[in-house]
Amino acid sequence: MDLLHTLVQPLAPEPSSCFCHDPAEAARTRHRLFGWAADHTALVASAHFRGAHAVEITRNGSHFAVRRWAASGPTRR
């Protein structure tokens, strides 16, 4: 399942890309995923995010906010 296509979608899960077969269902699914991730302090990962490949989401009223971006892969020393 490929839910995230842009860096905007964690903040606004309603907009869909041209790759979403059913935009309304995709938005509902993103909203459920973000709600679960916020409630469980889980990272949401996407192959479409360069650099920071995962995001920690928190609730902001009825919306969502980015708590932090998490980089994946080896760290530089």
Domain ranges, ordered by start, for the chain? 1-77
**Two structure tokens written together for 20:** 């979403």
The conformation of residue 70, written as its DSSP 8-state character, comes to E
Q: Give the contacts of 13 (CB within 8 A, at least 6 positions apart).
A: 27, 30, 31, 34, 64
Quick one: how many helices (H) and strands (E) in the chain? 1, 3
pTM of the model: 0.76
* Buried-exposed string 31-63: b where 16+ CB fall within 10 A, e elsewhere: eebbeebbeeeeebebeebeeebbbbbeeeeee
Write out pLDDT tens, residues 4-39.
777 777 778 787 878 888 989 988 998 899 999 999
Q: What is the pLDDT of residues 33-74, one digit of tens each?
A: 999 999 999 988 877 766 667 889 999 888 898 898 876 665
